[in-house]
Structure 1
Amino acid sequence: MPESVLSFIGLGSNLDEPAEQVRSALVQLQALPRCRLVSHSNLYQSKPMGPADQPDYINAVAALETSLESFELLAELQAIETEHGRVRKECWGARTLDLDVLIYDELVIDTPQLTIPHPGLPQRAFVLYPLQELVAADFIVPGMGKLRDLLDECPFEGLSIYD
């Protein structure tokens, strides 16, 4: 079993009581084998990426200490999505739950199944701002630079704290 590492998970939902979907997923993250939920951000409301004819999203970021390998963690997250009724119909379409491995320790992975850090991270205020609640401003996103610099390039517009 590998030594524990810190991973950051993005959570999002815009269907079937989105705030409750995200809160339920946080509980399920805590219950994952070989994982410990360290902390999580506030919930944020954001406009959807992709098709505009869908409801706003509720998003959060969780810090998860885990000894699961990155691909094992991905499989566990996809199982939670399935339990929440996730159906993959269209890219960036409405969904009951979306769980993304944003950062996994200092690892950089680029495969068809998993890309870490999440490639859209620099353009996603709904990920960067919740992430900043959990780490220091000089936190280095592997292969992307300091979180502070990413935040400077990604305005807060269209985002609000939900709770």
Structure 2
Amino acid sequence: MNIAYLLIGGNEGDRSAYLQETTRRIQYPGSRLLQASSIYETAAWGKTDQAAFLNQALALETPLDAPALMKRLLATEEELGRVRTERYGSRTIDIDILFFNEDVIQLPWLTIPHPEVARRRFALTPLDEIAPGYIHPVLHKTIHRLLAECPDLLEVKKL
């Protein structure tokens, strides 16, 4: 079995309902939710002229490999109304694989660890709640240390 650390988030519609429905839907056959962080609210990152996001980190145990899981997650995003029109734009739901075991994966359409995780307080804060001691397989620092060193000053508010 594999352990995937995911970040789910969105800023359109009933944000809490989308997080709940995403959490329910990603428990694919043979997969099991191990942990879920609290829900956090943050201003938009990257493109700031939009509504605030709700974000949550999840630990998912799954028999799927990383590419197969990512394909399923993308399909789940589409099922929940995700439309990709602009980078960092508004969305009903976004599901990112932040880490997958201790794997380092570089494919044209999938990079693990997530290349922006160490620079995003909105990702590190909920992840620190469920996996503070997890060691980034490239940077060789714990999530807790990455959060302490994070240059992102965006406020992350626990709900």
Q: Does 1:117 align with 2:113?
A: yes
Deviations 1:20-78 (A, max 9, x none): 11111011122x12211111000000111122221000000100001101111001101
Aligned pair partner of 1:64 in 60, 65, 69: 60
Give the Cα–Cα distance (whole angstroms) in 1 for the partners of residues 122 and 20 of structure 2: 16
Residues 133, 5 of structure 1: CA spacing in aligned structure 2 closer, same or farther, 3 A cutoff? same
1:26 aligns with 23
Give the Cα–Cα distance (whole angstroms) in 2 for the partners of residues 40 and 148 of structure 1: 17
Aligned alpha-carbon RMSD (Å):
1.3
Letter in 2 for 1:118: H
Identity, in percent, stands at: 35
* Structure 2 residues without counterparts, runs of 5 or longer: none
Normalised to the residue count of structure 2, the TM-score between the two structures is: 0.94
Letter in 1 for 2:137: P
1:78 aligns with 74
Regions of 4+ moved over 3 Å: none
1:132 aligns with 128
Q: How many residues align?
A: 157
* Structure 1 residues without counterparts, runs of 5 or longer: none
Normalised to the residue count of structure 1, the TM-score between the two structures is: 0.91
What is the CA-CA distance between 1:157 and the residue it aligns to? 4.3
1:152 aligns with 148
Give the Cα–Cα distance (whole angstroms) in 2 for the partners of residues 156 and 76 of structure 1: 32
What is the CA-CA distance between 1:156 and the residue it aligns to? 6.4
